[in-house]
Amino acid sequence: MNRRYGIAAAVLAALLVVVTAAKIQHVPWTTPAARAIEQRGPLSEAEKATIDIFERVSPSVVQVAAKSAANPLMGEEAQGGASGTGFVWDREGHLVTNNHVVANGEEIAVRFASGEVAQVDLVGTAPNYDLAVLRIRSVRELPPPVALGSSSDLKVGQSAFAIGNPFGLDQSMTSGIISALKRRLPTHGGREIANVIQTDAAINPGNSGGPLLDSAGRLIGVTTAIISPSGSNAGIGFAVPVDVVNRIVPELIRNGRVPTPGIGIVAASEDVSTRLGVEGVIVVRTAPGSPAERAGIRGVNFSTGAVGDIITAADGKPVRRLSDLTDALELSGAGKTVRLTVKRGSDTRDVNVSIIDIDRS
């Protein structure tokens, strides 16, 4: 009898567990119904401004893909499937990007924000500035050119925005500030770009050639490089200043190339100048028949090892390193004359030297 009651009690307990579990599944706090949406207030003014920049400028930003015989993959970086970036320069179909994005490309194509793909021709390159100009082959209705700003009045700390295609992720926008100004950046052309903009806006492979914008949505630079041990954004990105871009791009459109102004000297490295305690450009030698030789500039005496002429100023501005001299020559341009202050021993004199296009001399 006791055993019979025990079995009955166990069955009853099991039924109670099943019934209780069924009820628990239907209590209000376990309901599967969607939660109510919490209404938000209006967007902040800063958010509205950023959205406006993207909506105005992004249609004019393109993805650039270059295919070479050695690398049939389209893109600046095969790893990760990334490519470069470019943007509409004018209503004649010219686009601007980095030289290193298209330097080895046999076929170049661009993809617009709309998804449309267009074949382009390479109009010209300027390796010394890491800039290139493309032109769309077929006539089409283009998005508006990106508005131009100025890089001469930029301030460290002001907002900066980059639009590009990092790792092939098209139409990506990042923001930050201008971290530093007047940086110098070596290029594939063997020279340095002066007054380069440094920003902490995220710049990654694939952003190269894209626009760097100010808070008004104006172009202030062309993103060109990053410093990163891993190859990804580390908060240090660089952009060619728009004042340089606005000087170089029209020349590329007209002639397909940009002159390399020079006076025909070989200069000592900055390491040598530093070791000798010299502030200026030490002339190692002059090219035969060059403007420098004709102006009487003298290089190092290799028989005695004596230092010859040291260029300390150009057109009245101090020359402390070679890039100061090349900047002065580029501002004047080939075909013009530059007044150099030259120190030889304890004597200092001024000489006028003609500037030539050393690539065609």
Other CB atoms within 10 A of residue 84 CB = 30
- Set 172, 175, 208, 273: catalytic member: 208
- Say if CB 177 and CB 194 are below 8 A apart: no
Q: Provide the pLDDT for residue 193.
A: 82
Please state the rounded mean pLDDT for residues 324-334.
88
> Residues 136, 110: contact at Cβ < 8 Å?
yes
Find where tokens 């100009």 sit.
Answer: 133
Q: Which DSSP symbol is given to 202?
A: -
The secondary structure of 334-350 as a DSSP string is TTSEEEEEEEETTEEEE
Average pLDDT, the chain: 85
Sorting pLDDT into bands at 50, 70 and 90, what band is 205?
A: confident
pLDDT tier at 79, thresholds 50, 70, 90: very low
261-360 and 45-258 share a CATH fold: no
Bridge partners (DSSP) listed for residue 119:
109
Among 39-43, 124-128, 269-273, 328-332, the range scoring the smallest mean pLDDT is 269-273
Burial class of residue 329 (count of CB atoms within 10 Å of its CB; 0-12, 13-18, 19+): buried
**pLDDT band at residue 106 under the 50/70/90 scheme:** confident
Distance between CA atoms of residues 162 and 178, nearest Å: 11
The most confident of 133-142, 165-174, 215-224, by mean pLDDT:
215-224
Residue 208: active-site member: yes
Q: Is the pLDDT of residue 91 over 80?
A: yes
Helix ranges (H only) for the chain are 2-24, 45-57, 99-102, 242-255, 270-276, 291-294, 322-332
130, 214, 309, 324: the catalytic one is 130
* Token couple for 9: 């009690």
Distance of CA 149 to the CA centre of its chain: 16
* Higher-pLDDT residue of 32, 224: 224
The Cα 25–Cα 22 span in angstroms is 5
- In this predicted structure, the answer to whether residue 180 has a pLDDT above a threshold of 90 is yes
Q: Are residues 75 and 84 in contact, defined by beta-carbon separation less than 8 angstroms?
A: yes
Region 161-181 average pLDDT: 92
Residues 93/253, Cβ–Cβ less than 8 Å: no
Q: How many CA atoms lie within 13 A of 317 on its CB side?
A: 12
pLDDT score for 321: 85
More confident residue, 31 or 279: 279
| Confidence (pLDDT) at 12 | 55
The domain defined by 261-360 carries CATH number 1.10.10.10: no
Q: What is the pLDDT of residues 252-263, one digit of tens each?
A: 999 999 988 999
- Say what the pLDDT of residue 213 is: 97
The mean per-residue pLDDT over the stretch 83-100 comes to 94
Backbone phi and psi for residue 343, each to the nearest 5 degrees, phi listed first: -110, 130
Sign of CA dihedral 216, 219, 221, 225: positive
234 pLDDT exceeds 80? no
Q: Where are the domains of the chain?
A: 45-258, 261-360
Q: Is the pLDDT of residue 116 over 50?
A: yes
What per-residue confidence (pLDDT) applies to 327?
85
Closest CA to 137 of 92, 80, 73, 97: 92
- Give the pLDDT confidence of 149-168 residue by residue, as tens digits: 999 999 999 999 999 998 87
pLDDT at 206 over 80: yes
Q: Which of 83, 94, 100, 243 is catalytic?
A: 100
Has 100 been annotated as catalytic?
yes
With a cut of 60, say whether residue 21 has pLDDT above it: no
Q: What is the pTM of this model?
A: 0.77
CB 179 within 8 A of CB 156: yes
- SS3 call for 42: coil
Q: What is the DSSP string of 118-186?
A: EEEEEEEEEGGGTEEEEEESS---PPPPPPB--STT--TTSEEEEEE-GGG--SEEEEEEEEEEEEEEE
Mean pLDDT confidence for 274-291? 91
Domain 45-258: which topology?
A: Thrombin, subunit H (2.40.10)
∠ Cα 199 108 246 (to 5°): 45
Residue 235: both structure tokens together: 């908060």
Q: 81 pLDDT band (50/70/90 cuts)?
A: very low
pLDDT of amino acid 104: 79
Confidence of residue 225 (pLDDT cuts 50, 70, 90): confident
For the chain, percent of residues with pLDDT exceeding 70: 83
